[in-house]
Amino acid sequence: MERLVAALRAARSVFVLTGSGISAESGLPTFRGINGLWRTHRVEELASPEGFARDPVLVWTWYNERKSAHVRAEPNAGHDALARLERIVDDFTLATQNVDSLHLRAGSSNVLELHGNLREARCTRCGARRAFEATGLPLDEIDHECGGKFRPDIVWFGEPLPADVWRAAQTGAARADVILVVGTSAVVYPAAALATHYNERAFVAEVNPEPTAISDRIDCVLRGTAVELLPRLLDDL
Ligand code: BJW
Protein backbone atom coordinates (compact mmCIF):
# COMPACT_ATOMS: atom_id res chain seq x y z
CA MET A 1 0.00 0.00 0.00
CA GLU A 2 2.85 2.43 0.90
CA ARG A 3 4.54 1.89 -2.46
CA LEU A 4 1.32 2.52 -4.34
CA VAL A 5 0.57 5.64 -2.28
CA ALA A 6 4.07 6.97 -3.03
CA ALA A 7 3.66 6.23 -6.75
CA LEU A 8 0.28 7.96 -6.84
CA ARG A 9 1.60 11.01 -4.97
CA ALA A 10 4.31 11.41 -7.60
CA ALA A 11 2.04 10.66 -10.56
CA ARG A 12 0.88 13.27 -13.03
CA SER A 13 -1.19 10.80 -15.03
CA VAL A 14 -3.20 7.85 -13.69
CA PHE A 15 -5.03 5.15 -15.62
CA VAL A 16 -7.52 2.79 -13.92
CA LEU A 17 -8.96 -0.40 -15.42
CA THR A 18 -11.91 -1.99 -13.66
CA GLY A 19 -13.88 -5.19 -14.05
CA SER A 20 -16.93 -6.81 -12.52
CA GLY A 21 -15.18 -7.39 -9.16
CA ILE A 22 -15.51 -3.72 -8.29
CA SER A 23 -19.29 -4.10 -8.39
CA ALA A 24 -19.35 -7.40 -6.46
CA GLU A 25 -19.83 -5.56 -3.15
CA SER A 26 -22.77 -3.73 -4.71
CA GLY A 27 -24.38 -7.16 -5.04
CA LEU A 28 -23.67 -7.77 -8.74
CA PRO A 29 -22.14 -11.16 -9.61
CA THR A 30 -18.81 -11.44 -11.40
CA PHE A 31 -18.56 -13.44 -14.61
CA ARG A 32 -16.20 -16.22 -13.66
CA GLY A 33 -16.58 -16.42 -9.88
CA ILE A 34 -18.56 -18.90 -7.77
CA ASN A 35 -21.89 -17.38 -8.78
CA GLY A 36 -20.59 -16.59 -12.25
CA LEU A 37 -23.01 -18.83 -14.09
CA TRP A 38 -26.43 -17.50 -15.02
CA ARG A 39 -28.76 -20.42 -14.37
CA THR A 40 -26.81 -23.10 -16.26
CA HIS A 41 -25.23 -20.88 -18.89
CA ARG A 42 -21.65 -19.67 -19.22
CA VAL A 43 -21.03 -16.05 -20.23
CA GLU A 44 -19.43 -17.17 -23.50
CA GLU A 45 -22.73 -18.85 -24.47
CA LEU A 46 -24.79 -15.72 -23.87
CA ALA A 47 -22.48 -12.84 -24.71
CA SER A 48 -21.82 -13.59 -28.37
CA PRO A 49 -23.51 -12.82 -31.69
CA GLU A 50 -23.84 -16.60 -32.20
CA GLY A 51 -25.57 -17.02 -28.84
CA PHE A 52 -27.94 -14.17 -29.68
CA ALA A 53 -28.71 -15.62 -33.13
CA ARG A 54 -29.36 -19.02 -31.52
CA ASP A 55 -31.71 -17.80 -28.79
CA PRO A 56 -32.44 -14.04 -28.61
CA VAL A 57 -35.15 -14.52 -25.98
CA LEU A 58 -32.71 -16.33 -23.66
CA VAL A 59 -30.07 -13.63 -24.14
CA TRP A 60 -32.59 -10.79 -23.57
CA THR A 61 -33.91 -12.56 -20.46
CA TRP A 62 -30.35 -12.52 -19.08
CA TYR A 63 -29.82 -8.84 -19.90
CA ASN A 64 -33.26 -7.85 -18.58
CA GLU A 65 -32.47 -9.54 -15.26
CA ARG A 66 -29.05 -7.90 -15.13
CA LYS A 67 -30.48 -4.47 -15.98
CA SER A 68 -32.98 -4.79 -13.18
CA ALA A 69 -30.15 -5.78 -10.76
CA HIS A 70 -28.02 -2.81 -11.95
CA VAL A 71 -30.85 -0.37 -11.30
CA ARG A 72 -31.38 -1.76 -7.79
CA ALA A 73 -27.64 -1.75 -6.99
CA GLU A 74 -25.90 1.26 -5.46
CA PRO A 75 -22.30 2.33 -6.13
CA ASN A 76 -20.07 1.12 -3.30
CA ALA A 77 -17.14 2.68 -1.44
CA GLY A 78 -14.76 1.36 -4.14
CA HIS A 79 -16.58 3.24 -6.90
CA ASP A 80 -16.71 6.31 -4.65
CA ALA A 81 -12.96 6.15 -3.97
CA LEU A 82 -12.19 6.13 -7.72
CA ALA A 83 -14.46 9.13 -8.21
CA ARG A 84 -12.45 10.88 -5.46
CA LEU A 85 -9.18 9.88 -7.13
CA GLU A 86 -10.32 11.48 -10.39
CA ARG A 87 -10.82 14.78 -8.56
CA ILE A 88 -7.27 14.90 -7.20
CA VAL A 89 -5.26 13.74 -10.23
CA ASP A 90 -4.63 16.18 -13.10
CA ASP A 91 -4.75 13.59 -15.87
CA PHE A 92 -7.05 10.70 -14.99
CA THR A 93 -8.63 8.02 -17.17
CA LEU A 94 -11.00 5.34 -15.95
CA ALA A 95 -11.64 2.48 -18.38
CA THR A 96 -14.21 -0.06 -17.28
CA GLN A 97 -15.25 -3.39 -18.73
CA ASN A 98 -18.49 -3.11 -16.79
CA VAL A 99 -21.84 -2.24 -18.34
CA ASP A 100 -23.58 -1.42 -15.04
CA SER A 101 -23.11 2.41 -15.09
CA LEU A 102 -22.07 2.37 -11.42
CA HIS A 103 -18.92 4.45 -12.00
CA LEU A 104 -21.02 7.21 -13.58
CA ARG A 105 -23.55 6.99 -10.76
CA ALA A 106 -20.68 7.30 -8.23
CA GLY A 107 -19.67 10.60 -9.83
CA SER A 108 -16.76 9.57 -12.08
CA SER A 109 -16.97 11.70 -15.20
CA ASN A 110 -14.23 10.57 -17.56
CA VAL A 111 -15.41 6.95 -17.94
CA LEU A 112 -14.50 4.84 -20.98
CA GLU A 113 -17.02 2.01 -21.25
CA LEU A 114 -14.94 -0.55 -23.15
CA HIS A 115 -17.74 -3.11 -23.48
CA GLY A 116 -20.62 -0.64 -23.92
CA ASN A 117 -23.49 -0.16 -21.52
CA LEU A 118 -27.07 -1.21 -20.84
CA ARG A 119 -28.64 2.22 -21.33
CA GLU A 120 -29.70 1.59 -24.94
CA ALA A 121 -30.61 -1.19 -27.36
CA ARG A 122 -29.81 -1.02 -31.08
CA CYS A 123 -31.08 -2.78 -34.15
CA THR A 124 -28.78 -5.40 -35.68
CA ARG A 125 -29.80 -4.38 -39.19
CA CYS A 126 -30.51 -0.62 -39.42
CA GLY A 127 -28.83 0.59 -36.21
CA ALA A 128 -32.03 2.23 -34.86
CA ARG A 129 -31.75 2.90 -31.15
CA ARG A 130 -34.20 2.74 -28.29
CA ALA A 131 -33.85 3.26 -24.57
CA PHE A 132 -33.24 0.14 -22.51
CA GLU A 133 -35.60 0.87 -19.63
CA ALA A 134 -35.20 -0.36 -16.06
CA THR A 135 -38.23 -2.60 -16.66
CA GLY A 136 -36.31 -4.40 -19.41
CA LEU A 137 -36.97 -4.81 -23.11
CA PRO A 138 -40.35 -6.54 -23.58
CA LEU A 139 -39.57 -9.93 -25.12
CA ASP A 140 -42.25 -9.41 -27.79
CA GLU A 141 -40.44 -6.23 -28.94
CA ILE A 142 -37.10 -7.81 -29.87
CA ASP A 143 -38.00 -7.81 -33.59
CA HIS A 144 -37.60 -4.44 -35.28
CA GLU A 145 -39.85 -3.29 -38.13
CA CYS A 146 -36.89 -3.25 -40.58
CA GLY A 147 -36.47 -7.01 -40.21
CA GLY A 148 -33.54 -6.76 -37.76
CA LYS A 149 -33.58 -7.41 -34.03
CA PHE A 150 -32.91 -5.12 -31.10
CA ARG A 151 -29.81 -6.16 -29.14
CA PRO A 152 -28.11 -4.62 -26.11
CA ASP A 153 -25.60 -1.87 -27.00
CA ILE A 154 -22.62 -3.82 -25.74
CA VAL A 155 -19.55 -5.64 -27.03
CA TRP A 156 -19.85 -9.41 -27.31
CA PHE A 157 -17.10 -11.96 -27.92
CA GLY A 158 -15.69 -11.68 -31.42
CA GLU A 159 -16.82 -8.06 -31.78
CA PRO A 160 -14.48 -5.06 -31.89
CA LEU A 161 -14.52 -2.50 -29.08
CA PRO A 162 -15.85 0.96 -30.08
CA ALA A 163 -12.88 2.49 -31.94
CA ASP A 164 -12.93 5.93 -30.29
CA VAL A 165 -13.27 4.46 -26.79
CA TRP A 166 -10.47 1.98 -27.43
CA ARG A 167 -8.15 4.66 -28.82
CA ALA A 168 -8.74 6.88 -25.78
CA ALA A 169 -8.12 3.95 -23.42
CA GLN A 170 -4.91 2.94 -25.18
CA THR A 171 -3.49 6.48 -25.11
CA GLY A 172 -4.59 6.94 -21.48
CA ALA A 173 -2.75 3.74 -20.52
CA ALA A 174 0.31 4.66 -22.58
CA ARG A 175 0.86 8.05 -20.93
CA ALA A 176 0.08 6.97 -17.36
CA ASP A 177 2.62 7.05 -14.53
CA VAL A 178 0.44 4.68 -12.50
CA ILE A 179 -1.91 1.98 -13.79
CA LEU A 180 -4.35 0.62 -11.23
CA VAL A 181 -6.26 -2.57 -12.08
CA VAL A 182 -9.29 -3.35 -9.94
CA GLY A 183 -11.61 -6.36 -9.88
CA THR A 184 -10.82 -8.07 -13.15
CA SER A 185 -9.46 -11.54 -13.88
CA ALA A 186 -7.61 -9.92 -16.82
CA VAL A 187 -8.39 -12.80 -19.15
CA VAL A 188 -10.55 -10.94 -21.66
CA TYR A 189 -8.68 -9.15 -24.43
CA PRO A 190 -8.08 -6.53 -25.66
CA ALA A 191 -9.16 -4.89 -22.36
CA ALA A 192 -6.61 -6.85 -20.29
CA ALA A 193 -3.81 -5.61 -22.52
CA LEU A 194 -4.36 -2.08 -21.19
CA ALA A 195 -2.75 -3.15 -17.92
CA THR A 196 0.49 -4.46 -19.34
CA HIS A 197 0.96 -3.95 -23.10
CA TYR A 198 1.12 -0.21 -23.82
CA ASN A 199 3.38 1.19 -21.16
CA GLU A 200 6.66 -0.24 -19.86
CA ARG A 201 7.37 2.68 -17.54
CA ALA A 202 4.23 2.91 -15.39
CA PHE A 203 3.94 1.54 -11.87
CA VAL A 204 1.23 -1.13 -12.25
CA ALA A 205 -0.82 -2.21 -9.23
CA GLU A 206 -3.74 -4.57 -8.78
CA VAL A 207 -6.54 -4.63 -6.20
CA ASN A 208 -8.13 -8.07 -6.12
CA PRO A 209 -8.82 -10.70 -3.45
CA GLU A 210 -7.63 -13.46 -5.83
CA PRO A 211 -4.62 -13.97 -8.10
CA THR A 212 -5.22 -12.97 -11.72
CA ALA A 213 -3.64 -13.54 -15.11
CA ILE A 214 -1.39 -10.49 -14.61
CA SER A 215 -0.52 -10.81 -10.89
CA ASP A 216 2.98 -12.13 -11.48
CA ARG A 217 3.82 -9.52 -14.13
CA ILE A 218 3.10 -6.30 -12.25
CA ASP A 219 4.77 -4.12 -9.62
CA CYS A 220 2.35 -4.34 -6.74
CA VAL A 221 -0.43 -6.72 -5.74
CA LEU A 222 -2.90 -5.68 -3.06
CA ARG A 223 -4.90 -8.71 -1.95
CA GLY A 224 -8.29 -7.59 -0.72
CA THR A 225 -11.58 -6.28 -1.98
CA ALA A 226 -12.24 -2.95 -3.63
CA VAL A 227 -14.34 -1.77 -0.68
CA GLU A 228 -11.66 -2.79 1.84
CA LEU A 229 -8.70 -1.29 0.01
CA LEU A 230 -9.68 1.63 -2.25
CA PRO A 231 -11.07 3.94 0.49
CA ARG A 232 -7.94 3.21 2.60
CA LEU A 233 -5.77 4.06 -0.37
CA LEU A 234 -7.53 7.39 -0.86
CA ASP A 235 -7.38 8.19 2.85
CA ASP A 236 -3.61 7.57 2.81
CA LEU A 237 -3.00 9.78 -0.22
C1 BJW B 1 -13.05 -8.69 -6.83
C2 BJW B 1 -14.02 -8.66 -5.85
C3 BJW B 1 -14.06 -7.52 -5.00
C4 BJW B 1 -14.27 -10.50 -6.96
N5 BJW B 1 -13.17 -6.53 -5.18
N6 BJW B 1 -12.17 -7.73 -6.96
C7 BJW B 1 -7.46 -16.18 -27.18
C8 BJW B 1 -6.52 -15.33 -26.62
C9 BJW B 1 -6.76 -13.97 -26.47
C10 BJW B 1 -7.95 -13.42 -26.90
C11 BJW B 1 -8.89 -14.26 -27.47
C12 BJW B 1 -8.66 -15.61 -27.60
N13 BJW B 1 -9.76 -16.18 -28.16
C14 BJW B 1 -10.68 -15.21 -28.37
C15 BJW B 1 -10.16 -14.04 -27.96
C16 BJW B 1 -10.80 -12.72 -28.00
C17 BJW B 1 -11.83 -12.53 -26.92
C18 BJW B 1 -11.24 -12.95 -25.57
O19 BJW B 1 -10.57 -12.18 -24.91
N20 BJW B 1 -11.51 -14.17 -25.14
C21 BJW B 1 -10.92 -14.69 -23.91
C22 BJW B 1 -12.02 -15.08 -22.92
C23 BJW B 1 -10.05 -15.84 -24.27
N24 BJW B 1 -12.16 -11.11 -26.90
C25 BJW B 1 -13.07 -10.60 -27.70
O26 BJW B 1 -13.75 -11.30 -28.44
C27 BJW B 1 -13.22 -9.10 -27.69
N28 BJW B 1 -13.21 -8.61 -29.00
C29 BJW B 1 -12.17 -8.77 -29.82
O30 BJW B 1 -11.14 -9.36 -29.47
O31 BJW B 1 -12.36 -8.24 -31.04
C32 BJW B 1 -11.36 -8.44 -32.05
C33 BJW B 1 -11.97 -7.93 -33.34
C34 BJW B 1 -11.31 -6.92 -34.02
C35 BJW B 1 -11.85 -6.46 -35.22
C36 BJW B 1 -13.01 -7.02 -35.73
C37 BJW B 1 -13.67 -8.02 -35.03
C38 BJW B 1 -13.14 -8.48 -33.82
C39 BJW B 1 -14.55 -8.69 -27.09
C40 BJW B 1 -14.66 -9.08 -25.65
C41 BJW B 1 -16.06 -8.75 -25.14
C42 BJW B 1 -16.27 -9.25 -23.72
N43 BJW B 1 -17.63 -9.12 -23.41
C44 BJW B 1 -18.09 -9.49 -22.08
C45 BJW B 1 -19.63 -9.54 -22.07
C46 BJW B 1 -20.28 -8.29 -22.65
C47 BJW B 1 -20.61 -7.25 -21.65
C48 BJW B 1 -21.61 -7.75 -20.61
O49 BJW B 1 -22.57 -8.44 -20.94
O50 BJW B 1 -21.42 -7.40 -19.44
O51 BJW B 1 -17.59 -8.58 -21.10
S52 BJW B 1 -17.44 -11.07 -21.50
C53 BJW B 1 -17.27 -10.60 -19.83
O54 BJW B 1 -15.85 -10.67 -19.46
C55 BJW B 1 -17.69 -9.12 -19.76
C56 BJW B 1 -16.61 -8.57 -18.86
O57 BJW B 1 -16.51 -7.17 -19.05
C58 BJW B 1 -15.38 -9.33 -19.24
C59 BJW B 1 -14.30 -9.32 -18.20
O60 BJW B 1 -14.67 -10.04 -17.07
P61 BJW B 1 -14.21 -9.54 -15.62
O62 BJW B 1 -14.88 -8.27 -15.30
O63 BJW B 1 -12.75 -9.59 -15.52
O64 BJW B 1 -14.91 -10.65 -14.69
P65 BJW B 1 -14.32 -12.01 -14.07
O66 BJW B 1 -15.46 -12.73 -13.46
O67 BJW B 1 -13.50 -12.74 -15.05
O68 BJW B 1 -13.33 -11.51 -12.91
C69 BJW B 1 -13.81 -10.84 -11.75
C70 BJW B 1 -12.62 -10.52 -10.86
O71 BJW B 1 -13.08 -9.76 -9.76
C72 BJW B 1 -11.91 -11.76 -10.29
O73 BJW B 1 -10.52 -11.62 -10.48
C74 BJW B 1 -12.26 -11.70 -8.80
O75 BJW B 1 -11.24 -12.23 -7.98
C76 BJW B 1 -12.42 -10.21 -8.59
N77 BJW B 1 -13.25 -9.83 -7.44
N78 BJW B 1 -14.82 -9.75 -5.87
C79 BJW B 1 -12.25 -6.63 -6.10
N80 BJW B 1 -15.02 -7.38 -3.97
Cα–Cα dist 177/204, whole Å: 9
Instruction: Provide the pLDDT for residue 34.
Output: 74
Average pLDDT, the chain: 96
Active-site residue set: 115
Q: Strands of 91-96's sheet, edge to edge? A: 111-113, 91-96, 13-18, 178-182, 203-207, 220-222
Instruction: Provide the pLDDT for residue 199.
Output: 97
Centre a 10 Å sphere on the Cβ of residue 64 and count the other Cβ atoms it contains: 20
Instruction: Provide the pLDDT for residue 70.
Output: 96
Per-residue pLDDT of the chain (237 residues; tens, 9 = 90+): 999 999 999 999 999 999 999 999 999 999 988 777 777 788 888 999 999 999 999 999 999 999 999 999 999 999 999 999 999 999 999 999 999 999 999 999 989 999 999 999 999 999 999 999 999 999 999 999 999 999 999 999 999 999 999 999 999 999 999 999 999 999 999 999 999 999 999 999 999 999 999 999 999 999 999 999 999 999 999
Q: Which of 31, 76, 82, 228 has most ligand 1 atoms within 8 Å of its beta carbon, as the pocket-test mutant?
A: 31
Instruction: Provide the pLDDT for residue 119.
Output: 96
Cα–Cα dist 202/69, whole Å: 36
Task: Report how far ligand 1's centroid is from the alpha carbon of 162 (Å).
Answer: 15
- What tens digit of pLDDT does each residue of 134-165 get? 999 999 999 999 999 999 999 999 999 999 99
Query: Ligand 1: which atom is nearest the Cα of residue 225?
Result: 5
Q: Is 160 in the pocket of ligand 1 (CB under 6 A)?
A: yes
Nearest CA to ligand 1 atom 4: 21
Task: Report how far ligand 1's centroid is from the alpha carbon of 6 (Å).
Answer: 30
Instruction: Provide the pLDDT for residue 176.
Output: 98
Nearest CA to ligand 1 atom 5: 225
Cα–Cα dist 199/172, whole Å: 10
